[in-house]
Amino acid sequence: MNEIRFEEQHEAQWAALAQSVQGGKHQREAHPHAAREVPRLFRRAAAELALARDRQYRTSLIDRLHSIVLAAHLAVHGARARRPWGLARDLARFLFATFPAQARRQWRFAAAAAAALFGPMLGMIAALHYHPDFVYYLVSPETLAQVQSMYDPKHGRVGMGRDAGTDALMFGFYIANNVRIDLQCLAGGILFGLGTLAALVGNGLFIGAIAGHLTNVGYVETFWGFVAGHSALELMGAVLSGASGLRIGFALVAPGRASRGAALRAAAIDAAPLLYGAALMTTCAAVIEAFWSSRTGIPFFSKVVFGLFMWAVVLGVLGFGGRRGS
């Protein structure tokens, strides 16, 4: 291809790229459809610049194309070097808009995950109220003795093992435990969703057994005061991790007209924001669990009020966050 034909063939896309990047951020925000074309046009222009140099086209053409590619590079990659408050703004937009909007789009899987977790948990608490000894069918006496020691009102701290003496150490423990549960819920989706359901039901039964037993032995204030503050973040994080696993499992069970591989890739795109949001929720839960929940000097009433406030915040964000953006 000669130089004149090369320039004529690509002139329109060069002009479109130059107009998009030279118009600045405000123009790209005002025309989002054109802005989405910038990365594609940028890649093509970079390849055409290399081709023009290889063919030794005239200097004026190469210089013009080089300036367009440089401006596009700054527009695409320069946005990554954001100031700290820009990163905080993006994180807040994800937490309060993108993440809850995606959770609502996947509400069927979230509802199924919530039923699999909360149903066994509440059912076990109710069953132990009438049949306290049933707990020994699910939890060993050694584990129950250890749990009772952790929430004994005589101790100065609650919710900690005997060999864990610092808040920072327990923060790491809670992070590892929460992440393990979330990953179990996600990874179980690859078994056609059955692994996810097993993880949710199993955790629900165990939590319900511990809660019902400690309530029966009279550790109401220490146990419920401990879990009140972080329960919303931790439990809803597990639910949304389970929803991501069920989304993947459903893609394998009912891929539709697509292949299972294609359906799995599409499901992963839907599930990823749920998992990211759940990870952030469980991280926040670990902070509260390590540095707030274990304090016995805080009145039980204050812990319950704080816990109710956190439930209102979590459900409010998931229910209404990002609706304007949607």
State pLDDT tens for residues 282-300.
Answer: 999 988 988 888 787 889 9
- Residue 291 DSSP label: I
Q: How far is 154 from 146, CA to CA, in rounded Å?
A: 14
Report the predicted TM-score, pTM, of the whole model to 2 decimal places: 0.71
CA-closest candidate to residue 109, choices 245, 205, 234, 238: 245
Could you tell me the two tokens for 2? 């000669």
pLDDT average per 10 residues of sequence, the chain (326 residues)? 82 86 55 65 87 84 86 71 67 90 94 97 95 92 88 69 57 80 88 94 95 93 92 95 95 88 88 91 90 84 95 95 70
Q: What is the pLDDT of residue 310?
A: 96
Q: What angle do CA 180, 209, 229 make, to 5 degrees?
A: 65
Q: What is the pLDDT of residues 25-53, one digit of tens each?
A: 544 454 444 567 788 888 888 888 888 88
Q: What is the pLDDT of residue 157?
A: 62
Q: What is the pLDDT of residue 133?
A: 92
CA-closest candidate to residue 190, choices 241, 249, 128, 261: 249
Q: What is the pLDDT of residue 162?
A: 40
